[in-house]
Amino acid sequence: MKLISLYFLAILFFLSNTCLGQETQLQTQLKVKTLIEKKAEYHRLTGGTQDGYRIKIHFGIDKDKAHTVKSKFSSRFNEYNTHEEYQQPNWVILVGDFKTKLEAFQSLKKIQGEFPNSFIVKDKVWLK
């Protein structure tokens, strides 16, 4: 009788651990799903942007000069996104979408060889 009750207790223990493991896995899946939904909502509310850094390579009142600088940059550094903005009264060419200032600084060192007056600015950047 003692052996049967010990065997019964072992089976109960095994089954309870199996059920708890499945419950924990289900809870984890629900948490992951909730986080994915929150991230999607955040992207919807922010328009897919976040605080970050870009490199300003040109600003001036001449629109044609801004286009020329943008074309020159794009042909030389095609791995960076370029952004053209009009900030009255200047046309501004910004490059990159950097999450950290360190990332922007590393790219700035590459870019300054061809665009020596470029510098880092804070901006809203596109999430990747």
Q: For 32-78, write each residue's pLDDT tens digit.
A: 888 888 777 777 777 777 899 999 999 999 999 999 999 999 999 99
- Cβ contact 55:121 at 8 Å: yes
C-alpha–C-alpha distance, residues 73 and 70, integer Å: 5
Q: Which residues partner with 121 through β-bridges?
A: 54
- Cβ contact 67:31 at 8 Å: no
> What is the average pLDDT value for the chain, to the nearest integer?
84
What is the assigned CATH class of domain 49-126?
alpha beta
Tell me which of 10 and 95 has the higher pLDDT.
Answer: 95
Angstrom CA distances, 80 to 1, 96, 103, 107, stand at 76, 5, 12, 9
pLDDT for the residue numbered 22: 63
Which of 43, 42, 51 has its CA nearest to residue 125?
51
pLDDT for the residue numbered 72: 95
Which of 100, 114, 113, 112 has its CA nearest to residue 54?
100
* pTM score of the predicted model: 0.66
Task: Give domain limits for the chain.
Answer: 1-47, 49-126
The DSSP output letter for 89 is: T
